[in-house]
Chain A
Amino acid sequence: MEEKFGVPRDPSYLIKALQNIQTKKGYIPFEDAVEVAEYLGVPLTRVFGVATFYEQFRLKPRGKYVIRVCQGTACHVKGSKTLLDFLRDFLGVDIGDTTEDGLFTIERVACLGACALAPAVEVNGTIYGKMDPDKLRELIIELKEAERNGEQKN
Chain B
Amino acid sequence: MASRKIKSIEDLKNLREEGLKKWEESLKSGVTFVVGYGTCGIAAGADEVLNAVQELASGSKVVKVGCIGMCWAEPLLDVVYPDGMRVSYMAVDRDRAEQIVESALKGEVYEKGIVGVIDLRHELFGEPERQFPYPRLWDHEFYKKQVRIVLKNCGIVDPESITDYIALGGYSALAKAVLEMTPEQVIEEIKTSGLRGRGGAGFPTWLKWKFLRDAKGKVKYLICNADEGDPGAFMDRATIEGDPHSVIEGMLIAAYATGATKGYIYIRAEYPLAVKRISKAIEDARKLGLLGKNILGTKFSFDIEIREGAGAFVCGEETALMASIEGKRGVPRPRPPYPAEKGLWGKPTNINNVETYANVPKIIANGGKWYAQYGTEKSKGTKVFALAGKVNRTGLIEVPMGITLREIIFEIGGGIIGGKKFKAVQIGGPSGGCIPEQLVDIPVDYESLTSAGAIMGSGGMVVMDETTCMVDVAKYFLTFTQAESCGQCVPCREGTKRMLDILVNITEGRAKMEDLHTLEWLAVNVSKASLCGLGKTAPTPVLSTIRYFRDEYMAHIVDKRCPAGVCKALVSYYIDPSMCRGCSLCARNCPVGAIYKEGNVFKIDQDKCIRCGSCVSSCPFGAIKTEGVA
Contacts and interface: CB of A to CB of B under 8 A. Distances in A.
A12 interface: yes
Nearest to A46: B328
A114 B324 CA distance: 25
Contacts of A132: 591, 614
A15 B74 contact: no
Main secondary structure of the interface of A (DSSP, over half): helix
Interface stretch (B200-208, B269-277, B372-380, B576-584): B269-277
Given A56-B311, A125-B272, A76 B476 contact: yes
B608 to A, nearest CB: 8
B389 A74 contact: yes
Contact of A117 (B40, B272, B329, B589): B40
Per DSSP, chain B at the interface is mixed
B591 A117 contact: no
A138 to B, nearest CB: 11
B231 A71 contact: yes
A75 B476 CA distance: 11
Interface stretch (A78-86, A98-106, A142-150): A78-86
B229 interface: yes
A72 to B, nearest CB: 4
B386 interface: yes
B486 to A, nearest CB: 8
B230 interface: yes
A78 to B, nearest CB: 7
Nearest to B325: A12
Contacts of A71: 231, 480
B429 interface: yes
Contacts of B71: 116-117
Interface stretch (B120-128, B232-240, B243-251, B361-369): B232-240
B310 A113 contact: no
A55 B311 CA distance: 5
Interface string A18-39: 1100000000000000000000
Contacts of B307: 15-16
Interface in B175-226: none
A127 interface: yes
A44 interface: no
Contacts of A18: 310
A44 B42 CA distance: 40
Interface string B37-73: 0011011100000000000000000000000000110
B476 A117 contact: no
B43 A115 contact: no
B610 A82 contact: yes
Nearest to A127: B43
Nearest to B467: A77
A54 B330 contact: yes
Contacts of B312: 53-55
Nearest to B71: A116
Given A55-B311, A76-B476, A114-B234, A127 B42 contact: yes
A73 B327 contact: no
Contacts of A19: 269, 308, 310
Given A55-B312, A77-B468, A113 B269 contact: no
A111 B476 contact: no
Contacts of A125: 272
B40 A111 contact: no
B327 A129 contact: no
A114 B424 CA distance: 21
Contacts of B473: 76-77
- Report the contact-size class of chain B (Cβ under 8 Å from the partner): 35 or more
Interface in B424-468: 426, 429, 460, 462, 464, 468
B139 interface: no
B395 interface: yes
A118 interface: yes
A110 B480 contact: yes
A134 B591 contact: yes
A59 interface: no
A116 B40 contact: yes
A114 B40 contact: yes
A81 to B, nearest CB: 9
Interface string B315-328: 00000000011111
Given A11-B327, A125-B272, A117 B44 contact: yes
A115 B388 contact: yes
B630 to A, nearest CB: 19
B383 interface: no
Contacts of A89: 592, 610
A74 B612 contact: no
Nearest to B465: A77
Nearest to A130: B44
Most chain B CB neighbours (cut-off 10 Å) among A89, A111, A113:
A113
Nearest to A74: B388
A46 B328 CA distance: 8
Nearest to A120: B43
A2 B269 CA distance: 26
Given A74-B462, A113-B39, A12 B326 contact: yes
Contact of B229 (A74, A111, A114, A128): A111
A67 interface: no
Nearest to A76: B476
B585 to A, nearest CB: 13
A29 to B, nearest CB: 17
Contacts of A127: 39, 42-43
Contacts of B387: 116
Interface string B247-273: 000000000000000000000011110
Given A73-B426, A116-B395, A90 B310 contact: no
A66 to B, nearest CB: 13
B394 interface: yes
B228 interface: yes
Contacts of B230: 111
B228 A113 contact: yes
Given A14-B327, A18-B310, A111-B229, 13 more contacts: A19-B308, A54-B310, A55-B312, A73-B389, A77-B462, A89-B610, A110-B229, A111-B230, A113-B228, A113-B271, A115-B462, A118-B388, A136-B591
Interface of B: 39-40, 42-44, 71-72, 74, 228-234, 237, 269-272, 307-313, 324-330, 386-390, 394-396, 426, 429, 460, 462, 464, 468, 473, 476-477, 480, 484, 486, 589, 591-592, 610-612, 614
24 contacts: A12-B325, A15-B310, A16-B307, A46-B328, A50-B327, A53-B486, A55-B311, A71-B480, A73-B231, A73-B232, A73-B476, A74-B231, A82-B610, A82-B612, A110-B313, A111-B230, A113-B234, A113-B270, A114-B234, A115-B394, A116-B40, A127-B43, A129-B40, A129-B44
The 3 lowest CB-CB distance pairs between A and B, nearest first, are A116-B71, A55-B311, A73-B232
